[in-house]
Structure 1
Amino acid sequence: MFDSLGLKRLSDIVPGDETWFPFFIIPPKRLNRMWIEGQGDSPAVLRPGFQSRKRMFTVFFNYSGPLVVVILPQDITMTATYYVQNVLSQVKSAINEHPPKVSTSRTLLLHDNAGPHKARATTQPLRELGIQVLPHPAYSPNLAPCDF
C-alpha cells in the first residue's frame, strides 16, 4: 500500500469515518416546570422519537488524537457537496493548524469507499486542495481504523 506512494510514516495518515451515535440533549429541570392557570389546556410536551435521537458523527484523527468531529445536522443527508463544504474544509484547516511534528512532504487522507467519498464532486476539490487520498480496499472492514 505504501510502495506506490514512497516512504511514509503512520503519522502522515489522517483516517476518518462516519458512524451513528445516540445523541440527544436533555433539557434542564427548570424547563420542565410550568405554571398552569385554571383556564385552558396544559401545553403538550413533545418527546423526540427513537430515530430522531441518532445523529451521524464524522470523525477524523491523527496520531495524537481526534482532529475533527462534525455532527451531521438533523434532516440533512450526507452528500458529496456537504462532505466537501463542511467536513473536508474543516479537515484541511485542522491539518494546516496541527501538522505532524516530523517533517513530511504531504499528509494522506484515509476514508472508506462510501459514495460521498468517491464522487467526482469530492475527488476534484481534494486534488485542488493538494490532499492525497490513500487507497482503501473494497469490502475490508478490518482495515477501517475508526471501528476499533
Structure 2
Amino acid sequence: MDETWIFQFDPKPKSAPMHRRRPSSPPPKKAKVTQSSGKVMLSCFCDCDGIIMTDYMEKAKTVTGEYYSGLLKRLRSELARRRRGKFRSGVLLLHDNAPAHRARQAAERCGFKILPHLPYSPDLAPSDFCLFPNLKKSIKRRRFEDSTDAITAVEAWFQAKSDTFYSQGLLKVKERWEKCVTQLGAKDILNSPRRYSLAGL
C-alpha cells in the first residue's frame, strides 16, 4: 500500500537544447510550466493479481490515523469479496512508516499482519520503483478537465495492466530484500535508523 499525488496537469521535464551564443549575450528566456493546483491523493492497495482497492482524497484533506483505519476496514471487505481464498489464509500488509500508517491496532483488528519497512527506503516499496513511476510516466503532460477526469485515466491505466505486471513488481521486492539482507546483514538493518538504498549494491 502507498500513496501519491495525481495532478490535473503535471509537466514533463525537458532538457533545454544547447545553443551557441556569445559570452556577452543574455541567456535565452524559458517559459515556466508548473504543476496544476488541482490534485487528489491516490491510496492504492494491490497484490500479485492486480489492484484490490483505490481511494482518492481531495487536496484540502489529510490522511490521518482515523482515515487510514477506515481504509483498512474497506480493504478487509474488498479482500473478502475479491480474494476470498487468500483472505482466509492470512494477509501480509506492506506499507511505509508514515504516521498515519502506524495504526497497528486497526490493522490487527482487520486480521492483517504488518511487514516491517525500513525508514527512508523507497527501493524496498514496490509502488515507488514499479507502480507509481510507470503510472506517472503515462499521464505526464496530459491535461485533465477536473479530478474526475484524472481519476478515470488512472483507473483505466490500472485495468490495462496484465497480472504479470503486478506479480513481477512484488517479486522484485523479495529480490531487493534478499539482496539488502545479504549485503548489509539483517541485524544491522533492523537496528540502524539510517537510510538503506539498493541503488549501489
Q: TM-score, normalised by structure 1?
A: 0.63
Does residue 108 of the first structure (1) align with residue 92 of the second (2)? yes
1:90 is aligned to 74
1:29-69 C-alpha deviation (Å, 9 max, x unpaired): xxxxxxxxxxxxxxxxxxxx932x12110001011111111
CA 1:125–1:100 in 2, change beyond 3 Å: closer, same or farther? same
How many residue pairs get aligned? The number is: 104
Residue identity opposite 1:95 in structure 2: L
CA 1:102–1:70 in 2, change beyond 3 Å: closer, same or farther? closer
Q: Distance in 2 between matches of 1:84 and 1:97?
A: 19
Q: Distance in 2 between matches of 1:131 and 1:111?
A: 12
Q: Distance in 2 between matches of 1:103 and 1:92?
A: 8
CA 1:92–1:104 in 2, change beyond 3 Å: closer, same or farther? closer
**Among 31, 43, 68, which residue is 1:58 paired with?**
43
CA 1:63–1:101 in 2, change beyond 3 Å: closer, same or farther? farther
After the TM superposition, list the runs of 4 or more consecutive aligned residues in structure 1 that deviate by more than 4 angstroms.
Answer: 100-104
SS state at 1:21 partner:
strand
**Structure 1: gaps spanning 5 or more residues:** 1-15, 25-48
1:82-115 C-alpha deviation (Å, 9 max, x unpaired): 1111x21221111111227569631101111111
Contact 2:39–2:58 (CA<8 Å) still a contact in 1? no
Q: TM-score, normalised by structure 2?
A: 0.47
CA 1:128–1:101 in 2, change beyond 3 Å: closer, same or farther? closer
Does residue 145 of the first structure (1) align with residue 130 of the second (2)? no
Does residue 126 of the first structure (1) align with residue 112 of the second (2)? no
Where does 1:32-51 land on structure 2 (aligned, <5 Å)?
50-51=36-37
Q: Distance in 2 between matches of 1:23 and 1:57?
A: 13
Q: Over aligned residues, Cα RMSD in angstroms?
A: 2.2
Greater strand content? 1
Q: Distance in 1 between matches of 2:111 and 2:84?
A: 16
- Give identity over the alignment, percent: 35
Contact 2:80–2:87 (CA<8 Å) still a contact in 1? no
CA 1:103–1:93 in 2, change beyond 3 Å: closer, same or farther? closer
Q: Distance in 1 between matches of 2:64 and 2:106?
A: 14
Contact 2:44–2:53 (CA<8 Å) still a contact in 1? yes
